[in-house]
Each structure stands twice: as C-alpha cells, then as structure tokens.
Structure 1
Amino acid sequence: MREEKLRRLLTVVVEDVRPAHPAATGWERARRVRRTRRAAGAVALAVALLTGGTALALRPADPSPPATTATPSRSAVPHPVPVRTVPADLAYPGDPLGRLGDPVGATLSARPVHKALALYQPVDPETAVEGRIRVLGDDGLVRDLDVVTLARTRDAEGNEAVPLKNGSLSPDGRTAAFAQTDEVIVVDLTTAAVRRHPLKGYLEHVLWSGDRLLVGDDDTTYEVDRVTGTARKLPASPWDVITPDPAARPDALLEVGGTPLSVTRIRSVSGVTHRDSRPVDFRALPRGNQVDEFYGRGWQRGDLVVRAGWITIGSSSGMEGVALLNAGTGVATHLLNVGFGRWKSCCEVLGWDRDGAVLLRYDPGGLLRWRPETGEVTGVVRNLYGEVSLAVG
C-alpha cells in the first residue's frame, strides 16, 4: 500500500471516533483530574494530621520541672524584682560568723590569730553599756582583745559612741584600727603588738582602703601610715567616703551621699584633685521607690556600691533599707526594704563577702546576708547586740 493511501485511511478512522465537542470534553477531563488531586491531597493531609496527633497523644508527657522550695542555698537564676522586702521568717543556714556570740575562750595576748573573721563589741540593749571587744579567729575561737584599753569616741559637742567601728578590721583580717581622741591605735592581731599614732582631733571614723588606713574627725579625712603614723589630709568627706574595694586604685576614692544625693569620684593627679559628680538616679526602680537619705558606711565592690539609708517605697516613707548603685553611672538598681519599727540607723552595711553578697546589721540583734542579683535574704546570726566589724571589702 502506498504511503499516501495509508495516510488517508488513518485520517478517516480517527474522524470516526473524534468527540462532538472537543473543548468541553478537555475541560471536563481537566476538572476531574483537579478534583481527584484535591481529594487525594485532602486524604493525605488528614492522614498526616491523624498520624501526628496520635503520635503526640501517645508520646510520654515531658517531665514536670522540679518543684522549688525556699532554701538558704544560693539561687543560680537572677531575681527580676529590683525591690525586695526582708522576709518575716528568715532561714539561718549556719555560718562561721554565727560563733560571734560564743563565750570568750582565750585572750589575744595568749593566742594571737592567724586571721580574724570579725570583731564584736557587745552592748547591753537595756542599759546601753558596752563590753570589751572580742576577736573571732578563723579557727572559730573567740578571744578577748586584752592588749589595749579603749575609750569611747566623742565629737566636739560631747556626743559619745563605742570605740569599735564597722571599718575597724582590715580586709585581710590581720590588723585592727581604733580612732580615739587625739590618736589612732593600730593592733596587729597576728602578734598582739600595739602601735599608737598621735593625731589631733576628735577622731571618730576609721576604715581601710587596701593597706591604707583612713581616719576622720567631723569634717576631715586623713590617710595614716600605719607603721610610722605619718598623716596627710584627703579631699573626701569622712561621713560619705566609701570603703573602697581592696583591689581599687590607691589614688581614687568615692563618695556617695550629700544633698542632693550624688556619686562623686575623687582622683589625685600630680597633686591636683579632680572631682566628678553625678546625681543618684532612681529611674531604674519602680516609680515611687527611692532613697531619701543615706547613713552609715558605704562599701564598694568593683563598680557596685551599697549603703544603708531611709527610703520611700510607693507612698510610704521613713523606712530603713539598703540601696545598690552603679558607681560609674549613679543608677540605683536594687533596694532592700527592711521596714519600720527598728532601732534608728538599724541596718548599716558591714561589707561584701567573697561571693558578692551584702552583709548588714539587722537590729535589734542580728546580721543578715542579702544577694541583690537573686533577691535572696538569709540570716547569719541572731541576738547579737552591739557593734561588729568584718574582714570584708
């Protein structure tokens, strides 16, 4: 058969089976295909959801987070609340300083210390009569400071106070200093040796800046060489100068206080004093929370400073509390509300411990430890009436 005849024959056969409406037939076929694909997709999705849901339902539940209980151990998670209140029921987890209230077991002259953890001068809460100063060694033994007899400090108006100040003990716990009228007494606690350095004035303040000894009367701060007794004046308020970090630069001091409240850096360069002041900024705290007036000694640790004061919480003022500030910016970041109804100036700060917690008085009768970064507050010792100085900085 020739090729041309074969082509015509095939054409005729195809024309016999061609649909009458080819476009409609094509669209109908396409719709059926789309419907089939959509149905298949829906079925596949349903199967997937059913399978996933069943697997989720059958999967063992995640273990619940462990229940948290109030314990005296240090929390690893910073507490977000910048203003805390001392708990009504304090935990006392035990502390080497808890032995401060133990009976005296020896004299310093007979058994000098390797290192003192604290000095303590008991004061009778009923009569306000003070006892002799005690030395708590790192061996846990309480000693009587028998190598010197100390008089009360007094100012020009005749107001008196016990001789032990919260800055008396050096950060290394090896030396103690006591301001007296017209002299400063330095005791080497490791040998029981005593040095007396004449210095005119009604001396009341004493604190350590590393190895430097700072002594003050009502309006003047002196730096005293603890070996020779040579003294020079420093351009710092004896009331507001902060106990420096032992690792701080020896040519720099810090003041926190005044009216209005401010943070002042003091540096001496080539004999010239430079003062850089900025106001204390409370805007990082909830509205209505602030310090109205500082009291007691402030303590520095790195860029942080803590100092006690009378505070306002919301609409209530006149409460006792402690503020944590950034020394570089002047911003107050945390407040500890100690509350009403305590002895006046009850809650002065005693320093920082090595773990970055703040130690403070809790009159009547105790010491507290406050960790600003977690908000945790725990008791250190109960029923400790009198003045305390700790080997902290």
Structure 2
Amino acid sequence: MNEPHLTRLLTRAAEDVRPTRPATAGWERAGRVRRARRAAGAAAVAVALIGGGTTALLHRAGPPAPAHPVVRPSASPVRQPPPVLDLIDDPLGRLGDRVAAPLSVRPVDRALALRQPVDPKTGEAGPVRVLGDDGLVRELDVVTLAPTRDASGNETAPLKPGSLSPDGRTAAFAQVGEVVVVDLTRAAVRRYPLAGYLEHVVWAGDRLLVGDNDTAYEVDRGSGKARKLPVDPRGLVVPEPARPGDLLTLGGAEDGLSVRRFPAAGGAPQQLPVGTGGLPPGYRLDEVYGRGWQRGDRIAQAGWTTTGSMGGAEGVAVVDARTGAVSHLLDLGREDRAKACCEVLGWSADGAVLFRADPTALARWRPETGEVDRVARDVTGPVSLPAS
C-alpha cells in the first residue's frame, strides 16, 4: 500500500455519517466508512510495526554506543593537612569534659576511650579517666596506678595506647612486677604477678599481651600464667580484633624498616622490607615510633620521614603488611611540632586513622581522600582507644 492510497483511506475514514440521509443509503454509506476506517487502521498499524521493527533491528545490528566512563582523578599517595583543621562532631570530642562520677559509683556499659591528663607545667599524671558510650567521663578510682619505669629509672604514665580492650569493657595496665586488669563494667580489679619492669600492653582480640624492654608475654587471665612470645614488644602491632591470629611487628632503622609476621601456628617469621617506591621522588619513611595498628592488610603508624631534601619530618604512614609498600603518607612537616608529636591511636570504625595532631588535639585522616579533621581538643596526656 502506497502513501497516496493510505491518505485517501484516512480521509474517507474521517467522514461523518449524516443521519438526515435516507436510512438505506445511510446504512450503506456508514458501512463503507466503517470498512474504510478498519482498512486505514490496519494499514497504520502495519506501517508502525514495520517501522518499529526496522528501527529495533537497526538498533540491535548497529555498532554499540560509544562508552563515556567516569574518570576520577587518583588521590596522591602523599598528602599534607590544611593549616587549620575543622572540628567535626564526634563522640571523642567529650574526652576533655570534666569528670561526672567515679567509676565505682557509675560503671560503664562500654568505654569509648581512656585518658590520663598530664599537667603541662609539672609533667605529673593524674588519675585515668574513662569516657563511656553514654558520653559521660568517669574517674578510675578503684585502683592507684604507679608510673611504669625501666631498669634505669625512666618513668612514663601507666596508660598506654593499647590499654583498652577492643570491646571497651576491660582495661589493662603494666606495672613493675604485675599487670593490673580492670573490669570497667563492674569496677572490679584483678592483679597478675609477672616479674620484670613491665611497660607495654597490647590486646590481640581477647588475648592480653604485655612486655618489658625486650620480652613479650601472653597472660592467661584464667590461670594467671604467662608464656613468652618470640616478638619484640616495642614493635608489636595491635592486631585487628577479627583476625588476631598472626602477630605483626613494624620497626628497625639501621638496616631499614621491615614488617615481620609471626605465624600463630609457629615457625620462622616472615620478613618484608618496607619500600617507598610508590611515593613521589624524594619521599621516604625512615623510622617509626609509637604503636602500629592493623586493619585488614594495612598498618598505620607514625614516624619520621624524608620529604624531598628535608629529613626528620613528622608523618603518619600506611604500610601494606603483605608487600611492605608504603601506600599512603601524611606529611606533617616539622615546624612548630615537638618530636614524636603525632602518635597513631588506632583506626575508626569507618576506616580513618586516628592520631595525635598536636599536644592537645586528636585528628582523623582518611588515606584514600587525604581528608584530615580534628575530632577532639583540649586533651592532654596519653589516650587509649579500642582496636576496631
């Protein structure tokens, strides 16, 4: 059917049946109109089907539409924080609040953090404080803790970064000749005798690891017995609670930094040198300090860096425990910063690194984006957060 024929059919189909004409003629005329309308409709449908089918076939048979992938610029592995950090709303922001109650009167369901204030003028440490998940600060009044000290008499505050258990329900403190464990939910104290100038405390899941200058122990909290571990207590990385089997250490300086993995099943440790080949030219991680924290296959730890031609700068690094590669580095410089200013305190639940930004502030760094924010201020003295 050609186009003129279809036009005539549609024209006739549009005519009205006039009721004033004789009935017979009108009936015949109406019949012709109805037949014309049906023919025109069928022709229109056929044309539409043929045209649509042809379009569909052409669409399927033709070349695919050009793809336009979204290009996201890759974040630099080295970032610098802004000169002034924005203060975000975070539960840790209440760490600097005043004490609301003693722990013996008001135990916690779960602690978000521990803090031991230190007088900036005298250097004297006060009682340990407990920030509960209800936002209130308690004073740890059920035990009097002495400073830890080594054989030479050097003293430091008893609160360590690894003192708080991952579930926030228990705190452990190394003391000379013993380990003190406090149930924060019941304000109950238990002591475990262990000879030595004990200084280090680390929770590996629910396992309690303590150490002196060069020996690490695992303390069985049921029996009180301790067994030696073949790891360096100073370089011991706080394990991720969900995978505390193998133990990792990160350390070394003269022979270069290395990650060492001590299999839970025993056997010789595996050692990987720390490499910075993925960083821009001139950037290097020279030494680490403080405690390293594991999350998945990554270790976050503070250290001293070389940035371009300048050495001795402060920084926070993320190291791949599988390869030893430094994947991200937060360049904190060295101007207006005390040496070993910026100890890493752990990972947040959403994958940010928490660290000491300056003498009285805590900050959060997201390695993937480079974003750095302040989460707490007016916080003096050591802080312990639970591993997450």
How does 1:77-92 map onto structure 2 within 5 Å?
80-92=75-87
Residue in 2 that maps onto 1:64: none
Residue in 1 that maps onto 2:229: 234
Deviation of 1:248 (Å):
1.1
Residue in 2 that maps onto 1:294: 288
8 Å Cα contact 1:120/1:134 also seen in 2: yes
8 Å Cα contact 1:253/1:265 also seen in 2: yes
SS at match of 1:101: coil
Deviation of 1:392 (Å):
2.7
Residue in 1 that maps onto 2:198: 203
Residue in 2 that maps onto 1:264: 260
Residue in 1 that maps onto 2:59: none
Q: Which of the two has higher C-alpha Rg?
A: 1
How does 1:15-26 map onto structure 2 within 5 Å?
none
Instruction: Provide structure 1 residue ranges, at least 5 long, that are not aligned to the other structure.
Output: 1-76
One-letter amino acid matched to 1:122: P
Deviation of 1:225 (Å):
1.5
Residue in 2 that maps onto 1:310: 304
**Which TM-score applies when normalising by structure 2?**
0.79
8 Å Cα contact 1:186/1:226 also seen in 2: no
Residue in 2 that maps onto 1:124: 119
- Aligned partners of 2:231 and 2:316: how far apart in 1? 22
Instruction: Provide structure 2 residue ranges, at least 5 long, that are not aligned to the other structure.
Output: 1-71
Deviation of 1:344 (Å):
2.1
CA RMSD of aligned residues (A): 1.2
Matched, 1:151 2:146: yes
Post-superposition Cα deviations, 1:289-311, rounded to whole Å, max 9, x if no partner, equal 11111100000001010111011
Residue in structure 2 matching 1:254, options 228, 248, 252 = 248
SS at match of 1:273: coil
Percent of aligned positions with the same letter in both sequences?
A: 62
Residue in structure 2 matching 1:336, options 330, 337, 348 = 330
**Which TM-score applies when normalising by structure 1?**
0.78
SS at match of 1:201: strand
Change (3 A) 1:302 1:78: farther
Residue in 1 that maps onto 2:318: 324
Matched, 1:283 2:298: no
Residue in 1 that maps onto 2:31: none
- Aligned partners of 1:222 and 1:313: how far apart in 2? 37
Post-superposition Cα deviations, 1:48-98, rounded to whole Å, max 9, x if no partner, equal xxxxxxxxxxxxxxxxxxxxxxxxxxxxx7861111112101111111111
SS at match of 2:268: strand
8 Å Cα contact 2:238/2:387 also seen in 1: no
- Aligned partners of 2:251 and 2:85: how far apart in 1? 30
SS at match of 1:97: helix
Residue in 2 that maps onto 1:100: 95
SS at match of 2:239: coil
SS at match of 2:122: coil
One-letter amino acid matched to 2:301: R
Post-superposition Cα deviations, 1:76-122, rounded to whole Å, max 9, x if no partner, equal x7861111112101111111111111110001011110000000101
Deviation of 1:287 (Å):
1.0
SS at match of 2:196: coil
- Aligned partners of 2:354 and 2:192: how far apart in 1? 31
Matched, 1:375 2:370: yes
8 Å Cα contact 1:79/1:374 also seen in 2: no
Residue in 2 that maps onto 1:345: 340
Residue in structure 1 matching 2:128, options 133, 145, 170 = 133
Post-superposition Cα deviations, 1:245-288, rounded to whole Å, max 9, x if no partner, equal 101142x111111132011111143xx43211010010000011
Residue in 2 that maps onto 1:165: 160
- Aligned partners of 1:215 and 1:80: how far apart in 2? 38
Residue in 2 that maps onto 1:366: 361
- Aligned partners of 2:75 and 2:94: how far apart in 1? 34
- Aligned partners of 1:350 and 1:249: how far apart in 2? 18
Point out the more displaced range, 292-301 or 79-88: 79-88
8 Å Cα contact 2:363/2:372 also seen in 1: yes
SS at match of 1:391: coil
8 Å Cα contact 2:240/2:387 also seen in 1: no
One-letter amino acid matched to 1:261: L
